[in-house]
Structure 1
């Protein structure tokens, strides 16, 4: 006779927990359990999500795909929820937040940055300002061909172009490229740091200082090695998640980005900050 102190069938499989539902936020790193493809979310469509891995390869998946993993945990993705709470008094950039304002139609002018990490950080801090002014930020994936890129864009008075450059210091390769630019409808500004990562204050990331990387070693690779981080994407996620406002980044980046926003919009002081 079966005892009632035990389940009727101890070999029966346990009920699986429903996957955690999370918003498909840009730069969130997830893995497709079926193919093993792992990358950051770079685009969210109506019914799809696009991932980009550390080799810049992209793959598109159904948004409601049930095989995603986040740090080994099964998750279901959903479109990021529309903001329903009252807007904060200040945006991440320190500008006054307008609770009932809508994003403007995109202007013809653009701000170009060197890569996807630069674009993500600018969006993290200045996203509200950019949407309010209708300004689009696009990654260039390097500035070696900047003169040709500018010529193709064909900037004019109603279609200005701003460019944010890493490591813009006297004698650098970047400074020599920028010296070739002479167009009243283009403004090129930058910061002195080797990479956009370094514009985030080290204490915000949880380190005493950014490591010194030997010449000849790719900077990001050297940083990861010095800090004991295996993958660059993992380090980038740590950096981006640590930033919540303009106070977390260096002054040179703040100054350059805000000057570029004003240059594109020609606000005459309408871009209100801090």
Structure 2
């Protein structure tokens, strides 16, 4: 299923979020150790690190993939760990004595590298991130909250996007007052795609409003099923209330709205970092943050 994003100028298929206006994240150096599950970016090979072999003056690591097959790769760049680029380094080259070690590097839940102690929240920008509902806002806050406070960006729930066009008109977007909108179920032919197309035609929206979305019916589904210990989200029959159907499919209480609220808190509690979310969600939120913080 394709992901679609309505950018500042036109209706386009969205790809990787642009990085202008933000410092690129560091590629962390990870000491090679048994048990790491790595992906070779060039070949797509995924395997568990079994051992290191030193030969001809170089160090290679042996990864075991499906079916017990193994391949050897030199240490260095070009690997993904939990979906993020890393440099795999020789653990024997990591200095543990002598000069004082550099200060520990802290990471936010979104994966951002923070070399120093967290700074105080910046005064809020006029720009905003709009999401469809309270659950969307709580999930974005949990994973990206530190980043957003540092950038002075406020997330506001809309309560649905049926009135998005009027809301954007009332907001009055401009170069110093940008708006990023995150929409559920933004797929071709959907009601959401029609509303998104109308939204970017509001006067002042061109270049100042970015509407992007993920393909899932609800933000609940951007949580990876494996995080909940299941292979896939339950399939809900047309006409059935989606959230209560999901809870029933999970075998959780689903009799009333209080059960739905408790179910969501249980789901939210299972999310700890960006690795617990689907890439379709990660890319779209990063794209919005980049758009709102761009300086040109």
TM normalised by structure 1 equals 0.64
Q: What is the 5 A alignment of 1:1-274?
A: 89-97=106-114, 98-182=116-200, 183-184=205-206, 185-230=208-253, 231-266=259-294
Alignment correspondent of 1:76: none
Moved runs in structure 1, 4+ residues, more than 6 A? Answer: none
* RMSD of aligned alpha carbons: 1.6
Cα pair distance change 1:267/1:123, threshold 3 Å: farther
CA offsets, 1:28-53, max 9 Å, x none? xxxxxxxxxxxxxxxxxxxxxxxxxx
Shift in Å, 1:173? 0.9
Partner Cα separation in structure 1 for residue 151 and residue 185 of structure 2: 27
Aligned 8 A contact 1:87 1:99 in 2? no
Distance, in Å, in 1 between the alignment partners of 2:238 and 2:249 is 14
Asked if structure 2 preserves the Cα contact closer than 8 Å seen for 1:119 and 1:138, the reply is yes
Structure 1's 267 and 246: CA in aligned 2 closer, same or farther, altered over 3 A? Answer: farther
How far apart are 1:178 and its partner, in Å? 0.6
Q: TM-score, normalised by structure 2?
A: 0.60
Distance in 1 (CA, whole Å) between partners of 2:240 and 2:154 is 33
Using the TM superposition, give the Cα deviation of residue 267 of structure 1 relative to its aligned residue in structure 2, in angstroms.
5.2
Q: Greater RCO between the two (CA within 8 Å, min separation 6)?
A: 2
How far off its partner does 1:122 sit?
A: 0.2
Aligned length: 183
Q: SS of the counterpart of 1:156?
A: coil
User: Which consecutive residues of structure 1, in runs of 5 or more, have no partner in the other structure?
Assistant: 1-85, 269-274
Q: CA deviation at 1:101?
A: 1.7
Query: Matched residue of 1:111: which SS?
Result: strand
**How many angstroms does 1:150 deviate by?**
0.3
Instruction: Please list every run of 5 or more consecutive structure 2 residues that lacks an aligned counterpart in the other structure.
Output: 1-102, 254-258
Q: Distance in 2 between matches of 1:94 and 1:103?
A: 18
Rounded to whole Å, the distance in 1 between the matches of 2:274 and 2:243 is: 23
